[in-house]
Each structure stands twice: as C-alpha cells, then as structure tokens.
Chain A
C-alpha cells in the first residue's frame, strides 16, 4: 500500500472516531456555520468540540506549516483529507476570512513576528477577522480608496470609511487598505494595515440588503490609533498584498457555489421537474455545467498547489463560479414556484429559498464584479490590447 493510501486509511479512521454525527449533517442555513472569535457563539457542544478537535491536529488549515498552527500536510494529503471529509459529509469546522484571505497573505508577506502572532490564533479560530477594502467611492476602482492613514511617529492615525465590510459588526480585527501617501500614483500610496475592531474610534453600521439580512456593514474610522508594527509588507506597497489576497478571496467565492451542495441539482428538485419538461431540460443543462465546473475547481486547486496555475486563473474561477451559483438559485426559485416566494412562514424556513436567491446576486459583485474579472482575463491571460 502506498503512503498516500495508508494516509487515506488513517484519515478515514480518525474522522470516523472524531467527527461528531451532528457535524456530518448538512448545514441547514448560514447560522449553522461556525465562525469562532473572541466571544464565539457555538450552536452546540458538537460544533465546539469539532472545532477544537480539528484545530488540535492543525486541520482547520491542513496545508499551513505546523509552526503556525497548521497541519503541515502536502497538497496530495490535503486533497485526501478534503475528499474524506466530503465522503462523510463532514462540515467545515471553521468559517474564517482569516483562513481564506488574510492567512495566505501573511504567509507570503508577513514578518516572522506577525506570522507567529496572528496565524496560530487564526488556525484555532480565536480571532474573527473582517476585510476593509471597498469604500463608498472605491468599488470596482478599488485602488482609488481614500481612507487616510498618517504616520504620527509612535503610531498610525486612521480616518475614513469602508463599506460592504462583511460581518464587521461581529469581527474582532480588521485587515484594511489605507492610503499612506496621498501624493503618490494611486496604486503606490496604499498600505495593508491590521488593527483591533475594539480600538477607540471604530464603529460599524449593518446595511439592510434586499434579502432582508445584513451580512455587510458600513465601517467608520474616527482618529483610530494603530501600533506601528501592524503594517503587512512595506509601507506604500500594500497594493501587492491586496492583489495577492484578492486572488484567494476570488478562489473562496468561486467555491461558494459548490461547497456542501448536492452533486446534482436535478436530483434535489426531481419532484418539481416531473411535469415540467422545459425546466427539466434547463436543470439538466445546469447540471452539466455544474459538474464540469466541479472538475475545473479540482483542476484549479491541483494546479495551484503544484504552482502551475496561471496567476489570473482565480479571476476565471470567480467569474464562472458566481455566475453558475446565480443560475442555480434562479432554477431553485423556478422549481419552488409560489412556495419559494413565502418570506416569513415557518413552512419556508423564514423565506430561506428566496433570501438565498437574493443573496447570490452579490456573488458576481463582491470581490470584484464579473466585468472586472472578464477584464482581467482579457488583459492578463488573452493579452488583448489596451484592456
């Protein structure tokens, strides 16, 4: 038996012994996700113990180095772990922007001291991070951001406003793009700053969305003092860190349409499709696209781990994955008919289908719109002129 086959057997046995049965049930809605944090809200003992057990092995971040709280697994081993988790329907033990976005940026650009300080607590889910990127006047044109960050000798002083900050009202810390040189060309005066959301001068206001939920906030900074050692990478070189992190964010968003979902949408909707040939055909075409995209995701991750992926490929994944997810929810709504329109009833789980459908419309906007991604593909992969 090869080492990898042995590893698979070991993982399978370990998961069997350690993954609580409740954590093998599909998540019913977003509230079933475990986000950790300073004041974690665990829905159950099983959720708490699953996080602690996985974090104990470094398997919340299986491919990070062991020194920083990771599992130290190779790409092939990481893939096997994910496959074995998927096989028994094991939930992700920890949802975290620290894992999916900040961590990779720190591993690449952070100082040794920053890695030691921040990565282990991300791995254990002890600090919940949010992302301060967009501003009211800096959306697709992100590099025109204006949040001011002044060097006051022994500290930074931050003033300005962010918007669409996901879960800012629940986050403990923020990774934030700020302008440290207002005179430099727009891409060159930006720094990547980390600070505590409990700092004096930070306030948040949730934004009510069309779904009736408020996952995003406006975030205000009013004379916020930040210690000097909390810039990642060089001062005024934050755009490099920002772009690298965006690649990981796009990767994460591209996978949203697939994670934890039934392999076949048609199988899940079969009752509604039985007397609707046209909708059945639409769903069948969707299943072809979704299964093909699933293969693309596997290929993308394999190539990424082997260092073979084109650096702009996350843009393609983000574009295709989010458009697919929107299409999925349009079909779910069509199959649900007027049942899926109920907004508050218990029967509809308080409008779950409709609210999720509306939520997906943000997928092709957040993390760079579909149009931004197509522009990146055209320019960086197809090398079309003047894009």
Chain B
C-alpha cells in the first residue's frame, strides 16, 4: 500500500476539509462555546451534523450500521478538526471508544447512539497528572451479580457530558474495562475547564455498582480492550496534532509574508526563513509517521503499536514547535487573545498530554525495542 491517500481518501479529505472549515470554524465553535461558558465545551448540534455526514460511523463495521472504514479515514477527519480547533467528541467517542468496543457485546448497546450523534462517550484511565495506564490503581470488587467500583480518575475528556464512560479498573482476574452510565449512584463528576477551554472531568467512584453486562470484553481481559482504545486514540490524537501544527504553521507563514519591519517583509529574513523551513520539515515527517501508524493499525500489523508511539511523540513535538514558533514569530500580537495563534498553543498542550506525552511514548518505544 503506498504511503499516501488513495482517491477515495483524498475525496473524504476534501469533503471533511470544506465542511469542518465552515461549520467547525474557530469563531463559530471554539470561541462561541468558550465565551458563553458552555458546561460541555462543545456543540451538540455539530456532533449531530458529524453524524449526518457519516463521520461518526467511520470506524464501525457496515454490519453494525457504520461505514466500515479505518484509522486512516478517522485521521483525515481529525486532522481537519485539528486545523480548526473544533471542539468535538469525535476523537474520544467515535474513535477511541468505538475501537474499544470492537467485537464486544457492548456494540449493540452503544454504537447506534454514536452513529446518530445522540451519544457522547468518555474514557476514564488516568488517575494522576500523567498518563500511566500500566499502573491503574482503581479497584472493582465482585458484588451481587456485578461489580462495585471505587477510586478516582482525572483528565476524563468530555467526562462531564458523557452518556457512558469506559472505566479501567482492576478485578481479582486483572485489568477490566467497564461501561459506566451517566448518573450511576456513587459517582461524583466534577467538570473542570482546561487551558484550551475544553472540559475534562475528575471522577470519584464510591462503591459504584454496575451489572456484569457493563464489562466490555472479558473480566480480566482489559489489556486488549484498553490497547484497542489507546492505539486508536493515540493515532487519532497524532492526526489532530498534525492538523493543529500545520494550521499554526500556515498562519505563521502567511504572517511572515505580510508583516513589515525595518522596511522589509519579515519573511525575507533568513533567521526566520530557516526556522520556518525546519518546522515544515518536522511537520511533514510527523504526518508521514502518523499515516504509517494508521495504515499499520488498519492492516492489523504487530508493528502498529510501536509506530503509534512514534507518531504520537513525533506529532506532539512537531505541533509544539509549530505553536511555539508561531507565537514567537507573530511577536506581540501572538500574545493577544484576539489572535488565534495562542489558541493553537493551548490545544496543542492538551493534546500532547492526552494518551501520553512524547516522553512517555519515547520511553514506551525504548522498552518495546528492549532497552
């Protein structure tokens, strides 16, 4: 398979680009929900429009009512979301959550609502300030016909508005994933606004009772479910980061062609040209790594997990560079709220932390390679 988009994928990109640049624009979505202090941090109407476009079912098999496409196609939509900083449940609900449920009995319960844009899902994995999914401490004890969950989670993206949250906890049989519904007794949800004005949640579980059929996959079989969710989420976050980085770069390069100082366009200065050219190079490499990871995931390759870590780390660092250079090259106005470049920097920071930062993924890769 060549490492570029095929004709169908290029067509999807063009459709997604036009639609999201229009309906998902910063002024229409991000600034609107931020400035109106929306408790969800995103618009449900747009989530329904995504459904009408068919985006929500990209990763869902045709037999389950979806489009039966892959991670490459999901990434195409995410790159456009990244470019426009569009607040959307797409990454967590339609990519990570959907991937987690692949092949499990929970599909029938949750896929229809995702496809129709009525359901929002969340992932509750992190328990401290850093992403450490290998060290989940939360417990799920056998209780009645099901389980009783106790513990704390944080950085649950869209957790405050989620209809269902996929929760990682340890049972006597090992790591297990539970689909916990909104309003479960004993579950306290505190919505917290993050730097990019998205809403993450802190969740406290005090003996939250769930039925046995809330288990996603097998009891003690959580590693496989979590791995599907994280591979999909990380590759997707990498694609979104590429979008964030590319848009920040485009905006900055445009500015270099307009702003005059010392009687010259600042884009004529070699000091800035070289930095812009280096940034371009880093972003192109990040895009290639991301596409490679998506293709490997779609092929079911055993090399996919390593490449996903490469993509998440590389895209994270490249987008970070794009935002830092972007603000610096914009000069003073780059520090103002009025200009969008600073919004990119905030989104980039959140996406870098989500599902593991570049240091986490470099370390993970090193361990996979045996050092």
Contacts and interface: CB of A to CB of B under 8 A. Distances in A.
Interface in A255-287: 263-264, 266-267, 269-270, 273-274, 280-281, 283-285, 287
A266 B369 contact: yes
Interface residues of A, number: 48
Interface string A375-387: 1011001111111
Contacts of B268: 384-387
Interface stretch (A119-127, A136-144, A230-238, A288-296): A288-296
A263 B365 CA distance: 12
Interface in B298-337: 306-307, 309-311, 313-314
B281 A299 contact: no
B310 A264 contact: no
A371 B274 contact: yes
A299 B274 CA distance: 23
A292 B265 contact: no
Interface in A354-387: 371, 373-375, 377-378, 381-387
Contact of A291 (B3, B270, B281, B310): B310
Given A291-B307, A292-B314, A302-B4, A266 B366 contact: yes
A287 B307 CA distance: 11
Contacts of B273: 374-375, 378, 382, 384, 387
A303 B284 CA distance: 13
Interface stretch (B18-26, B97-105, B225-233, B287-295): B287-295
A239 interface: no
Given A264-B369, A302-B4, A293 B362 contact: no
Given A288-B365, A295-B289, A308 B307 contact: no
A267 to B, nearest CB: 5
Contacts of B2: 75-76, 79, 302, 305-306
Contact-residue bracket for chain B: 35 or more
A32 to B, nearest CB: 26
B282 to A, nearest CB: 8
Contact of B369 (A281, A287, A377, A378): A287
Contacts of A269: 371
B361 interface: yes
A292 B311 contact: yes
A22 interface: no
Contact of B284 (A266, A316, A378): A316
Interface string B10-50: 00000000000000000000000000000000000000000
A284 B270 CA distance: 32
A138 to B, nearest CB: 21
Contacts of B286: 292
A308 B274 contact: no
Contacts of A197: none
Contact of B291 (A287, A299, A300, A383): A299
A245 interface: no
A326 to B, nearest CB: 15
A320 interface: yes
B243 interface: no
Contacts of A319: 277-278, 281
Which 5 pairs of residues, A with B, have the shortest CB-CB distance? A292-B289, A377-B277, A378-B273, A295-B292, A270-B371
16 contacts: A76-B2, A264-B371, A284-B365, A291-B310, A291-B365, A292-B310, A296-B285, A299-B4, A300-B288, A303-B3, A308-B4, A374-B273, A374-B274, A375-B273, A375-B274, A384-B256
